[in-house]
Amino acid sequence: MQDPAITPDLIAAHGLKPDEYDRILEIIGREPTFTELGIFSAMWNEHCSYKSSKKWLRTLPTEGPQVICGPGENAGVVDIGDGQAVVFKMESHNHPSYIEPYQGAATGVGGILRDVFTMGARPIASMNSLSFGEPSHPKTRQLVSGVVAGVGGYGNCFGVPCAGGEVRFHRAYNGNCLVNAFAAGLADADKIFYSAASGVGMPVVYLGAKTGRDGVGGATMASAEFDDTIEEKRPTVQVGDPFTEKRLMEACLELMKTGAVISIQDMGAAGLTCSAVEMGDKGGLGVRLDLEKVPVREENMTAYEMMLSESQERMLMVLFPEKEAAAKAVFDKWDLDFAIVGETIAEDRFLIMLDGEVKADLPLSKLSSEAPEYDRPWVPTPEAAPLGDVPQVDPIDALKMLLGSPNYAAKQWVYEQYDTMVMGDSARTPGLGAGIIRVHGTGKALAFTSDVTPRYVKANPEVGGKQAVAEAYRNLTAVGAKPLATTDNMNFGNPEKPEIMGQFVGAIKGIGAACLALDMPIVSGNVSLYNETDGAAILPTPTIGAVGLIASPDEIIGCDVREGHQLLLVGDTRGHLGQSALLAEVFGREEGDAPEVDLDAEKRNGEFIRANRELITACTDVADGGIALAAFELAEKTGVGVHLDSDATPLLFGEDQARYLVACNFDKAEALMTAAAQAGVTLTSLGKFTGDSVKFGGSEAALGDLAEIYRGGFAAAVA
């Protein structure tokens, strides 16, 4: 087949700007072949090179005594004591999920699981953070149904429990949903596997499923805005097979025990190209590939197609040659392809051969190190206008409106489609706050949460970035976990627009400050830009996934209240209603500034909760919906009513930060008051849990009636 001529239109179709193409000509001193153009396109797109974000990502705090491996590998690695480590990362699969919801979401889950077991860790938990358009939008129901089915279909078949997540709806996502997938695994701290190749003449081995034409150009597609040609992009979406992935994991973990593996890299974005280049570049080596040896499932595949295919369930390894037979035996046992497709070479070359013909011959290090890096122009987000008057509302009527919104209604319609109990170590399943997974065979447990409030980030990117980390910190603290580290998934619009880039920069500054103050370094992450359709951007959505450690079962703080329990509030209340859930859902207003985030107060109040866990029977943080929603959720969880003395709108629905609701008996409440006074922490009594109704001041409703709205609101709106 004759390669197409390299034309300006072809260059543009590969997502390369004219000056980027000129740089390619400068590097190689000639016109690239069609395959070489595809390789540069794959390595230099936004999704793989982080060309718009690298400058700012470098400012994030990534180190700490608990960090074994920070950003740059397939996933982050954090020490959890006793020679064990937790390995975790969050990634997006936004563009594919909008085009093909089931497969887009499914392969997003598959990709993040591979990132974890590539490092030698057995996955123990997953989460997902999903953002959709308005419930009334004609595409929303289809997207919700397809994405949730895809996440569940893949995760359930693979056999990893879902520990938590979030689902939101907003018109800004009408043309571009977000699907952020998180996975965490356990490994021995001294048996982590990395991607840097070493040694010359070592065999490069292809493992797993066969290569097809699905996903060709997927990473480049994910680095561009959508327009009315969206349907044409369907072939760029990958197709997943969770049963093959399960076998691949078992085979990889078994192989790692043989001592055969020098380095390993999963084939994700940009497939064979990216995995081979990353392994070679990190090891300072070149790589030769003989593509006729690549296992394929379609006939007459070209070098271009094989190099850019994003077929799933595939790995690339560099092995010790003397262990080749033992390695092959493992993969034969699991009925997976095992093929030596090349070798490491001393020269700085990426040499691609097909049937003896040179298809690409490029300086390997330049594909990675010379990728464009932009200092995009940016403008700060203008200061939000002061919030106008917010009328006093009947608190029960307002609560009903929140409970009936798919944003704040119970999400059991979603998580009941996910297996939350597989492996038998789930100590707290989705539904309220952080999920908890026991570390098998020990007394330890890990807590997981995913958090961001996009309204806040849009109003004030820096404060919104801080708040996302602070809320993650609170969610972990509320279950008794010591926060360890975070992963971020930076979802934004087109970075070439200075106002969008300004949102990104602001959010990074806020996230960095909060991670530093709360000792939760960023150890991994993902950037997803160009989340726009016809020029309309999503809300800035920097999702924070966080992991905390619970040293023993008796340190877990529960969420079950009892009749007669006191309801206490930790933290200061000013009644901040700007950008609140009440404002958005009840009044249809998105106005005012994000609530202030006092990082010293966050740390002080969090440490107070953890230090006094023995006095606390139930705890939850106060976030969207304020005290009213948080108190209702605690009451609904156990079926005991809650009575608060006040009906003041700012007190009940304000979203001031650094706050927790705590429930305990009278004696423990007194002891907590004493401890709070000594620690300089504000602790106030709000009311008590009693009866079978929810009462705010003089406004009251049966708990059962409210629970019915809460449990049915999501399905009624979007299912």
E strand residue ranges, 173-226: 178-188, 203-208
What is the longest distance spanned by two Cα atoms in the chain?
84
Instruction: Reply yes or no on whether 14 is catalytic.
Output: no
| Eight-class DSSP state of 629 | H
Element housing 463 (H / E): helix 461-478
47 carries an active-site annotation: yes
Q: Is the dihedral of CA 510, 512, 513, 515 positive or negative?
A: positive
Distance CA 469, CA 58 (A): 18
Annotated active-site residue in 93, 95, 576, 643: 93
Give the DSSP letter of residue 557: -
**Residues contacting 207, CB < 8 A, separation 6+:** 248, 251, 252, 314, 315, 316, 317, 331, 336, 337, 338
The catalytic position among 14, 47, 170, 576 is: 47
Nearest to 337 by CA among 350, 348, 328: 328
Residue 451 Ramachandran class (φ > 0 left, ψ -120 to 50 alpha, else beta): beta
State the SS3 of 522-538: EEEEEEECCCEECCEEC
Decide the pairing of beta strands 76-81 and 67-69. Answer: antiparallel
Residue 527 pairs in a beta bridge with 490
CA 451, 581, 704 angle in degrees (round to 5)?
95
Bridge partner residues of 663 (DSSP): 567, 618
CA–CA gap between residue 343 and residue 286 (Å, rounded)? 9
Which of 223, 269, 220, 242 is CA-nearest to residue 115? 269
Dist CA 627 CA 663 (whole Å): 13
Residue 688 host element (H or E): strand 683-689
Three-class DSSP category at 327: helix
Cα 710 vs. chain centroid, distance in angstroms?
26
Q: What is the dihedral of CA 129, 395, 457, 49, to 10 degrees?
A: 0
Instruction: For residue 594, give Cα distances in angstroms to 102, 373, 455, 653.
Output: 35, 32, 8, 14
CA distance 96 to 221: 9
Question: Would you tell me how many other CB atoms lie within 10 Å of the CB of residue 648?
Answer: 16
Quickly count: other Cβ atoms within 10 Å of residue 164's Cβ: 29
How is the beta sheet containing 693-696 ordered, strand by strand?
618-621, 660-664, 566-570, 683-689, 642-644, 693-696, 699-702
CA distances from 166 to 18, 175, 666 (A): 41, 19, 34
Q: Which three-class secondary structure state does DSSP give residue 432?
A: coil
For residue 698, the tally of other CB atoms under 10 A from its CB is: 9
Angle at 487 between CA 484 and CA 492, to 5 degrees: 150
324: exposed, middle or buried (Cβ count in 10 Å: 0-12, 13-18, 19+): middle
Which residues, 6 or more positions from 60, have their beta carbon under 8 angstroms from its beta carbon?
A: 71, 488, 508, 511, 512, 515, 521, 522
- Contact indicator for 624, 167 with CB cutoff of 8 Å: no
Active site residues: 47, 93
